[in-house]
Amino acid sequence: MVNPVRLGDRILAVFEDGRSFLFTVQEGKLQTHHGVIDLASLVGKSYGSVCETHTGKRFYIMKPRFVDEIYKMKRQTQIVYPKDMGFILLMLDVHEGRTVIDAGVGSGAMCAALARAVGTTGKVYAYERREEFKRLAEENLKKWGLMDRVEIKLKDISEGFDETVDAIFLDVPDPWNYIRQCYEALNGSGNLAIVCPTTNQVQRVLEELSKFPFLNVEVWESLFRQYKPVAERLRPFDRMIAHTAYMVFARKTMDWRD
Protein backbone atom coordinates (compact mmCIF):
# COMPACT_ATOMS: atom_id res chain seq x y z
CA MET A 1 0.00 0.00 0.00
CA VAL A 2 1.39 3.38 -0.98
CA ASN A 3 1.61 6.03 1.75
CA PRO A 4 -0.98 4.72 4.23
CA VAL A 5 -2.50 6.81 7.03
CA ARG A 6 -0.14 7.25 9.99
CA LEU A 7 -0.56 8.45 13.55
CA GLY A 8 -0.29 12.25 13.60
CA ASP A 9 -1.57 12.69 10.01
CA ARG A 10 -4.21 15.32 9.29
CA ILE A 11 -7.36 13.75 7.81
CA LEU A 12 -10.46 15.13 6.14
CA ALA A 13 -13.33 12.66 6.61
CA VAL A 14 -15.92 13.37 3.89
CA PHE A 15 -19.45 11.91 4.19
CA GLU A 16 -21.69 11.22 1.21
CA ASP A 17 -23.94 14.17 2.18
CA GLY A 18 -20.93 16.49 1.67
CA ARG A 19 -20.33 17.22 5.38
CA SER A 20 -16.70 16.83 6.36
CA PHE A 21 -14.61 16.66 9.52
CA LEU A 22 -10.97 17.67 9.85
CA PHE A 23 -8.80 16.10 12.55
CA THR A 24 -5.41 14.67 13.49
CA VAL A 25 -5.12 10.87 13.71
CA GLN A 26 -4.54 9.92 17.35
CA GLU A 27 -5.99 7.73 20.10
CA GLY A 28 -9.60 8.71 20.73
CA LYS A 29 -13.04 9.04 19.18
CA LEU A 30 -14.77 11.73 17.16
CA GLN A 31 -18.54 12.27 17.39
CA THR A 32 -20.14 13.16 14.03
CA HIS A 33 -23.75 13.65 12.94
CA HIS A 34 -23.52 10.12 11.49
CA GLY A 35 -22.03 8.34 14.51
CA VAL A 36 -18.60 7.88 16.05
CA ILE A 37 -15.25 7.57 14.23
CA ASP A 38 -12.57 5.58 16.07
CA LEU A 39 -9.56 7.69 15.01
CA ALA A 40 -6.75 5.19 15.63
CA SER A 41 -8.62 2.58 13.53
CA LEU A 42 -7.77 4.67 10.43
CA VAL A 43 -4.03 3.95 10.77
CA GLY A 44 -2.77 1.80 7.90
CA LYS A 45 -5.72 2.51 5.59
CA SER A 46 -5.23 3.99 2.13
CA TYR A 47 -5.97 7.62 1.45
CA GLY A 48 -9.08 7.86 -0.69
CA SER A 49 -10.55 4.67 0.76
CA VAL A 50 -13.98 4.32 2.38
CA CYS A 51 -14.55 3.73 6.09
CA GLU A 52 -17.62 3.48 8.30
CA THR A 53 -18.70 5.06 11.57
CA HIS A 54 -20.03 2.83 14.38
CA THR A 55 -23.53 3.17 12.87
CA GLY A 56 -22.29 1.99 9.46
CA LYS A 57 -22.32 5.41 7.70
CA ARG A 58 -19.69 5.65 4.97
CA PHE A 59 -17.04 8.35 4.78
CA TYR A 60 -13.95 8.88 2.66
CA ILE A 61 -10.47 9.32 4.14
CA MET A 62 -8.98 12.30 2.28
CA LYS A 63 -5.82 14.34 2.67
CA PRO A 64 -6.94 17.84 3.64
CA ARG A 65 -5.92 20.46 1.13
CA PHE A 66 -4.58 23.69 2.53
CA VAL A 67 -7.86 25.32 1.47
CA ASP A 68 -9.78 22.84 3.69
CA GLU A 69 -7.57 23.81 6.62
CA ILE A 70 -8.27 27.49 5.96
CA TYR A 71 -12.06 27.08 5.76
CA LYS A 72 -12.14 25.10 9.00
CA MET A 73 -9.39 26.89 10.91
CA LYS A 74 -9.81 28.40 14.36
CA ARG A 75 -10.10 32.16 13.84
CA GLN A 76 -10.73 35.20 15.97
CA THR A 77 -10.13 37.79 13.26
CA GLN A 78 -11.22 38.25 9.67
CA ILE A 79 -8.94 36.19 7.46
CA VAL A 80 -7.78 36.60 3.89
CA TYR A 81 -10.14 34.56 1.76
CA PRO A 82 -8.83 31.74 -0.43
CA LYS A 83 -10.19 33.47 -3.56
CA ASP A 84 -7.85 36.41 -2.90
CA MET A 85 -4.90 34.46 -1.50
CA GLY A 86 -3.62 32.90 -4.70
CA PHE A 87 -3.59 36.18 -6.60
CA ILE A 88 -1.82 37.99 -3.75
CA LEU A 89 0.89 35.29 -3.68
CA LEU A 90 1.46 35.76 -7.40
CA MET A 91 1.46 39.57 -7.24
CA LEU A 92 3.92 39.49 -4.31
CA ASP A 93 5.98 36.97 -6.30
CA VAL A 94 6.54 34.94 -3.16
CA HIS A 95 8.37 31.71 -3.91
CA GLU A 96 11.05 29.37 -2.55
CA GLY A 97 13.77 31.24 -0.70
CA ARG A 98 12.03 34.64 -0.54
CA THR A 99 11.75 36.78 2.59
CA VAL A 100 8.36 38.28 3.42
CA ILE A 101 6.77 40.43 6.11
CA ASP A 102 3.18 39.64 7.17
CA ALA A 103 1.46 42.36 9.26
CA GLY A 104 -0.73 41.88 11.30
CA VAL A 105 -0.73 38.16 11.60
CA GLY A 106 -4.28 37.87 13.03
CA SER A 107 -5.35 34.22 12.95
CA GLY A 108 -2.44 33.34 10.67
CA ALA A 109 -4.28 32.36 7.48
CA MET A 110 -2.29 34.51 5.05
CA CYS A 111 0.85 33.92 7.12
CA ALA A 112 0.46 30.18 6.48
CA ALA A 113 -0.04 30.73 2.74
CA LEU A 114 3.12 32.85 2.65
CA ALA A 115 5.04 30.27 4.71
CA ARG A 116 4.10 27.49 2.30
CA ALA A 117 5.24 29.61 -0.64
CA VAL A 118 8.67 30.60 0.75
CA GLY A 119 9.51 26.95 1.31
CA THR A 120 12.20 25.64 3.65
CA THR A 121 14.82 28.20 2.54
CA GLY A 122 12.68 31.33 2.86
CA LYS A 123 11.35 33.19 5.86
CA VAL A 124 8.18 34.98 6.95
CA TYR A 125 8.53 37.72 9.57
CA ALA A 126 5.08 38.21 11.06
CA TYR A 127 4.04 41.16 13.23
CA GLU A 128 1.17 41.27 15.68
CA ARG A 129 0.41 43.72 18.48
CA ARG A 130 -2.03 41.51 20.40
CA GLU A 131 -0.70 38.62 22.43
CA GLU A 132 -3.85 36.48 22.05
CA PHE A 133 -3.70 36.63 18.23
CA LYS A 134 0.02 35.87 18.23
CA ARG A 135 -0.73 32.76 20.31
CA LEU A 136 -3.63 31.71 18.06
CA ALA A 137 -1.54 32.15 14.90
CA GLU A 138 1.27 30.09 16.44
CA GLU A 139 -1.18 27.34 17.34
CA ASN A 140 -2.53 27.24 13.76
CA LEU A 141 0.92 27.36 12.13
CA LYS A 142 2.27 24.61 14.41
CA LYS A 143 -0.64 22.35 13.51
CA TRP A 144 0.26 22.81 9.83
CA GLY A 145 3.99 22.23 10.41
CA LEU A 146 4.97 25.73 9.24
CA MET A 147 6.33 27.37 12.39
CA ASP A 148 9.98 26.70 11.42
CA ARG A 149 9.62 29.15 8.50
CA VAL A 150 7.90 31.87 10.51
CA GLU A 151 9.00 34.25 13.23
CA ILE A 152 6.09 36.01 14.95
CA LYS A 153 6.95 39.23 16.75
CA LEU A 154 4.74 40.87 19.35
CA LYS A 155 5.24 44.39 18.08
CA ASP A 156 3.24 47.37 16.87
CA ILE A 157 4.27 48.09 13.29
CA SER A 158 4.14 51.86 13.89
CA GLU A 159 7.61 51.24 15.40
CA GLY A 160 8.80 50.00 12.01
CA PHE A 161 10.03 46.61 10.81
CA ASP A 162 13.31 45.01 11.92
CA GLU A 163 14.39 43.60 8.55
CA THR A 164 14.40 44.32 4.83
CA VAL A 165 12.52 41.86 2.66
CA ASP A 166 11.44 40.99 -0.87
CA ALA A 167 7.73 41.40 -0.20
CA ILE A 168 5.31 42.80 2.37
CA PHE A 169 1.71 41.82 3.00
CA LEU A 170 -0.17 44.45 5.02
CA ASP A 171 -3.57 43.64 6.54
CA VAL A 172 -4.45 46.12 9.31
CA PRO A 173 -7.43 48.50 9.64
CA ASP A 174 -5.35 51.67 9.00
CA PRO A 175 -2.74 50.63 6.40
CA TRP A 176 -2.17 54.23 5.21
CA ASN A 177 -0.37 54.91 8.51
CA TYR A 178 2.40 52.38 7.75
CA ILE A 179 3.34 53.10 4.13
CA ARG A 180 6.61 54.73 5.20
CA GLN A 181 7.52 51.69 7.31
CA CYS A 182 6.72 49.42 4.36
CA TYR A 183 8.74 51.50 1.93
CA GLU A 184 11.74 51.43 4.26
CA ALA A 185 11.54 47.65 4.84
CA LEU A 186 11.30 46.67 1.16
CA ASN A 187 14.29 45.79 -0.96
CA GLY A 188 14.52 47.84 -4.16
CA SER A 189 11.94 46.47 -6.63
CA GLY A 190 10.18 44.69 -3.74
CA ASN A 191 6.46 44.04 -3.81
CA LEU A 192 3.80 45.42 -1.49
CA ALA A 193 0.24 44.10 -1.13
CA ILE A 194 -2.41 45.73 1.04
CA VAL A 195 -5.95 44.48 1.63
CA CYS A 196 -8.80 46.65 2.86
CA PRO A 197 -12.53 46.00 2.96
CA THR A 198 -13.74 49.52 2.05
CA THR A 199 -13.07 51.94 -0.79
CA ASN A 200 -12.53 54.72 1.77
CA GLN A 201 -9.48 52.85 3.03
CA VAL A 202 -8.23 52.29 -0.52
CA GLN A 203 -8.47 56.02 -1.19
CA ARG A 204 -6.35 56.88 1.85
CA VAL A 205 -3.82 54.18 0.91
CA LEU A 206 -3.51 55.61 -2.63
CA GLU A 207 -2.98 59.12 -1.28
CA GLU A 208 -0.20 57.90 0.99
CA LEU A 209 1.41 55.64 -1.67
CA SER A 210 1.70 58.66 -3.98
CA LYS A 211 4.14 60.30 -1.54
CA PHE A 212 6.71 57.54 -2.14
CA PRO A 213 8.36 56.33 -5.33
CA PHE A 214 6.25 53.24 -5.87
CA LEU A 215 5.68 51.84 -9.36
CA ASN A 216 2.84 49.73 -10.76
CA VAL A 217 0.22 50.83 -8.27
CA GLU A 218 -2.84 48.67 -8.94
CA VAL A 219 -6.23 48.23 -7.25
CA TRP A 220 -8.09 44.93 -7.67
CA GLU A 221 -11.18 43.13 -6.52
CA SER A 222 -11.85 39.46 -7.23
CA LEU A 223 -15.38 38.19 -7.88
CA PHE A 224 -15.93 34.44 -7.68
CA ARG A 225 -19.19 32.64 -8.27
CA GLN A 226 -19.55 28.93 -7.63
CA TYR A 227 -21.84 26.71 -9.70
CA LYS A 228 -23.90 23.72 -8.63
CA PRO A 229 -22.13 20.84 -10.38
CA VAL A 230 -25.29 19.26 -11.83
CA ALA A 231 -24.86 18.50 -15.53
CA GLU A 232 -28.54 18.76 -16.51
CA ARG A 233 -29.27 21.87 -14.39
CA LEU A 234 -26.05 23.83 -14.42
CA ARG A 235 -26.48 27.16 -12.62
CA PRO A 236 -24.82 29.18 -9.85
CA PHE A 237 -25.52 28.67 -6.17
CA ASP A 238 -28.12 31.16 -4.89
CA ARG A 239 -25.74 32.72 -2.42
CA MET A 240 -22.21 33.96 -2.93
CA ILE A 241 -19.53 35.73 -0.99
CA ALA A 242 -20.01 38.99 -2.83
CA HIS A 243 -17.29 41.01 -1.18
CA THR A 244 -14.17 40.31 0.83
CA ALA A 245 -11.54 43.01 0.35
CA TYR A 246 -9.92 45.30 -2.19
CA MET A 247 -6.33 44.48 -2.98
CA VAL A 248 -3.80 47.25 -3.58
CA PHE A 249 -0.39 46.42 -5.04
CA ALA A 250 2.74 48.53 -5.51
CA ARG A 251 6.45 48.02 -6.28
CA LYS A 252 9.29 49.92 -4.67
CA THR A 253 11.65 52.08 -6.73
CA MET A 254 14.51 54.25 -5.44
CA ASP A 255 13.57 57.19 -7.64
CA TRP A 256 13.07 60.13 -5.23
CA ARG A 257 12.46 63.26 -7.33
CA ASP A 258 11.26 65.94 -4.96
Among 89, 146, 147, 157, binds ligand SAH (CB under 6 A): 157
Is 101 a binding residue for ligand SAH by CB under 6 A? The answer is no
Q: How far apart are CA 20 and CA 72, in angstroms?
A: 10
Considering only 57-65, 88-96, 106-114, 220-228, which stretch makes contact with ligand SAH by CB under 6 A?
Answer: 106-114
* Stretch 226-255 residues interacting with ligand SAH (CB under 6 A): none
Single residue of 14, 100, 106, 185 touching ligand SAH by CB under 6 A? 106
Q: How far is the CB of 76 from ligand SAH (least distance, A)?
A: 8
Contact 180, 212 (CB under 8 A): yes
N-terminal to C-terminal alpha carbon distance within the chain: 67
Q: How far is CA 229 from CA 11, 48, 139, 232, 235, in A?
A: 24, 21, 35, 9, 8
E-assigned strand segments in 162-253: 165-170, 186-196, 214-220, 227-228, 235-236, 246-252
Q: Least separation, in Å, of the C-beta of 179 and ligand SAH?
A: 13
- Rule CB under 6 A: is residue 107 a binding residue for ligand SAH? yes
Q: Is 172 in the site for ligand SAH (CB under 6 A)?
A: yes
Residue 143 touching ligand SAH (CB under 6 A): no
CA 144-147-150 angle, to 5 degrees, is 130
Q: Give the residues lining the site for ligand SAH (CB under 6 A).
A: 77-80, 103-104, 106-110, 127-130, 133, 156-158, 171-172
